[in-house]
Amino acid sequence: MLNFTVGPVMSKADVLEIGGQSSPYFRTTEFSNVMLENERLMLDFLNAPADSRCIFLTTSGTGAMESCVMNLLGHDDKAIVINGGSFGQRFVELCELHDRKYTEIKCEFGRQIKAKQLEKYSGCGYTTLLVNMGETSSGTLYDMQLIADFCHREHIFLIVDAISSFIADELDMSALGAGAVITGSQKALAVHPGIALVALSPEALERVNRNDEICMYLSMKRALKNGDRGQTPFTPAVTTLLEINARLKGLKIAGGVAIEHKLIVQRSIEFRKFIRCMPKSPFEFVSESMSNAVTSLHPKNVSATSIFNTMKE
Ligand SMILES: *Cc1c(COP(=O)(O)O)cnc(C)c1O
């Protein structure tokens, strides 16, 4: 069966071959070299600022979101959370759970964020902004330039959940001035689930050092210290990391993420055209600003199950 979901997605043959092997022992120079290469390639593909780092956490994407809230936000920080769906809501719940000060900007499901929603909070002492670049629940891609400009003007540290957007949508960490960018193994990286990646700017590294360490497993301090020599503090999802290495090297050989990005854009255009051209189309598009990663459809007079079964066939 073809899998059209946002993740896990189908993997290429070379990745699947790695997935079928036993995991090697990982406290070795060979594995350290793989990890150091993974870090270099990720920072390169994200166009991260000089002296940034990338850490690899063995967790789903949500673990990296939680790690960001625990390690990058202190009790003195005042955060803005953009909440336009279930992933925005997840950041809200994480701030709540970890007792971080926050204000949420609610975006209507499937709607783009507007300048005036942000401007309301201008000059109010906010220090951090959390956003899901692609709010996958509605398939919405936020206007990152608008958000980045606001953060730049207000000297606000920007944390970007690009879990579904990396590769699928245009993303340049330096151009955005983002302090942290999160992605995951099972979306457009197209390998098995199990690894979440966080790129950290020098300012993010300062925050990690400044804040108290309040957890062990998701501690960025520990991940960074071990990462210096290409290692992780605990047993990682070794095979998924080897798959990531094959995938990143494949992208590098193909000339970077641009070509893969184009393929995804092309596929989304074709799919959306197909949906629009369906006779008596049973669907409406949910989002006014669609990410290339996912096409969110609202069914008219049909059940989701019957749509799923039609698509499956
Ligand atoms: C998939 C996704 C996540 C993480 O989900 P997990 O199930 O924890 O991997 C987080 N944010 C966004 C925007 C996503 O698309």
Residue 312: what pLDDT? 77
Tokens for 253, please give them.
């050989």
Q: Which fold has domain 13-253?
A: Aspartate Aminotransferase; domain 2 (3.40.640)
d(CA 282, CA 176): 38
Residue 309: what pLDDT? 84
Instruction: Compute CA 16 distance to the chain's CA centroid, rounded to the nearest angstrom.
Output: 22
- Regarding the beta carbon of 161 and ligand 1, being less than 6 Å apart is answered yes
Give the DSSP letter of residue 136: T
Q: Which among 308, 263, 301, 254 is positioned nearest to 282, based on CA atoms?
A: 301
Query: Buried b / exposed e across 64-91, counting CB within 10 Å, b at 16+?
Result: bbbbbbbbbbeeebbbbbbbbbebbbbb
Mean pLDDT by 10 residues, the chain (313 residues): 85 96 98 98 98 98 98 97 98 98 98 98 98 97 98 98 98 98 97 98 98 97 98 98 98 93 96 90 91 91 81 77
61 Cα–ligand 1 center, Å: 5
Amino acid at residue number 103? T
Q: The tokens 């989304």 sit on which residue?
A: 268
- Regarding the beta carbon of 231 and ligand 1, being less than 6 Å apart is answered no
The residue whose CB lies within 8 Å of the most ligand 1 atoms, and thus the one to mutate among 6, 58, 62, is 62
Cβ pair 148, 173 in contact under 8 A: no
- Regarding the beta carbon of 292 and ligand 1, being less than 6 Å apart is answered no
- Regarding the beta carbon of 132 and ligand 1, being less than 6 Å apart is answered yes
- Looking only at the bridges linking them, the beta strands covering 78-83 and 101-106 are parallel
Residue 305: what pLDDT? 84
Amino acid at residue number 73? L
- Regarding the beta carbon of 139 and ligand 1, being less than 6 Å apart is answered no
- Regarding the beta carbon of 157 and ligand 1, being less than 6 Å apart is answered no
Strand ranges (E), the chain: 53-58, 78-83, 101-106, 128-132, 134-135, 140-141, 157-161, 180-184, 195-200, 283-285, 297-299
CATH 3.40.640.10 positions along the chain are: 13-253
Residue 142: what pLDDT? 98
CA distances from residue 197 to 137, 255, 274, 291 in whole angstroms, order as listed = 20, 21, 34, 20
